[in-house]
Amino acid sequence: MTKPLTEGPPTQEPLKLGIAGLGTVGAGLLRLLETHGQVLSARLGRAIEVTAVCARDKTKDRGVCLDGMSWYDDAAKLALAEEIDVFVELIGGEEGAARSSVEAALKAGKHVVTANKALLAHHGNELALLAEENNVALNFEAAVAGGIPIIKTMREGLAGNGVARVYGIMNGTCNFILTKMQNESRDFAEVLSEAQAMGYAEADPSFDVGGIDTAHKLALLTTLAFGTEVAFDDIHIEGIEAISSADIEAADELGYRIKLLGVAMATDEGIEQRVHPTMVPKESPIAQVSGVTNCVAVDGDFSGDLLLVGPGAGAGATASAVMSDIADIARGLVFAPFNLPSSHIKPYTRARLNAHQGAYYIRLSVFDKPGAMAAIATHLGEQGVSLESIVQRRPRAALPGIDARGEPGAPTSLILITHETTEQSIRAALEAIGKDDKLAAPPQMIRIEKL
């Protein structure tokens, strides 16, 4: 048996890094290099050295040794430093220091490695062109799904494939909340508070639970999959704030789990990009992905359907992804950032969401009065929406100001599963139903995804 290469003299000059941002990921990268620096040197044929760093507070104890590294207070100055070959941007944010320093590094002919999905989702087209003009790398493995090597998989492993669809669970906070709601029969607000207490959710959780974080990542995967310009502003985005324990319970009884998915797929009209809560069959692999774990699936025409599962965040997983990008640069590998030269990237054509076809879950809180059910059926029929199943539940607990004894007039929960139809038809039917004053609350609609 051949022994793995674990040590040996480097054959090239060291690759010198400048790290901007010494938070969770930056400190994790330094620990990784402390742990595996020798084996990396042997594997890559050259040493990896951190020669300079930048952060807001020089006095903060980060649990890592910064001896021998130059300190910069300004990330843009670090980006221009002669003592670095690679600028590692771990600041975060779509504007400000992150954007200005990355632009400065690329213009100065420095390779860039970043974990910043927001920056790339909003400015990826311009930054990719800038990298190509200066013949340097712009690598971002850590920007999507943490430790899952999805960028390399799509850019290299699936280079010989056409992609029909890419989708996945790309936000650990949302998956943690939905898993807790499922397993413990708890409400969204209660589980969100627990996620905040455990550090899984921010004090302002809207970026995560509102679907924005997932959309940033989906925008990058869409470009890699379909060779189109990054088009974050064209993504339909819904979060999980409106998901109730009643929806979780109903999904379970009907054979589904609810997940926040990002989905991009090619259609005859263009590319469909959407982020929203989705019902997936219990027996599907993606339904088994629980807690803070992420997953990304790619439907390739020659490879078949692939599913990659792993940690979507955390110091170790994200630092591992950053290191994989640095390793490519150390080996002399420079790829077009989005898999194709900018001259071959196509303009993005958005498919109308109203044309989307699929099955839907609908939950209506209906005043139990004569004619209510008939009116609902009429509106659905007028839009050509047919039903696969109907479940009616009497109220189990009092709603504010409502008699919960199930007496005539009290609202009852009506759960509908439709056959495949269009988004336009569903929305038109629900709008008409809502105008009839027969609902005690706005209708809930969740898409059902074929996997």
DSSP 437: T
Residue type, 394: R
Look-up: residue for tokens 């997953």?
295
Residue type, 411: P
Positions annotated as catalytic residues are 217
Give the residue ranges of DSSP H helices in 70-209: 75-80, 96-107, 117-133, 150-152, 172-184, 188-197, 206-209
CA angle 75, 212, 175 (to 5 degrees): 110
The answer to whether 187 and 181 are in contact (CB under 8 A) is yes
The answer to whether 91 and 116 are in contact (CB under 8 A) is yes
Residue type, 434: G
Sign of the torsion angle spanned by Cα atoms 33, 35, 36, 41: positive
Which is nearest to 293 in space by CA: 315, 308, 271?
A: 308
Q: CA 324 to CA 15: how far, in whole Å?
A: 14
Look-up: residue for tokens 């609609």?
445
Grouping H, G, I as helix, E, B as strand and the rest as coil, residue 261 is: strand
Grouping H, G, I as helix, E, B as strand and the rest as coil, residue 179 is: helix
Q: Name beta bridge partners: 18.
A: 52, 87
Q: Is 236 exposed, middle or buried (0-12, 13-18, 19+ CB in 10 A)?
A: middle
Q: CA 143 to CA 123: how far, in whole Å?
A: 14
Q: Name beta bridge partners: 111.
A: 86
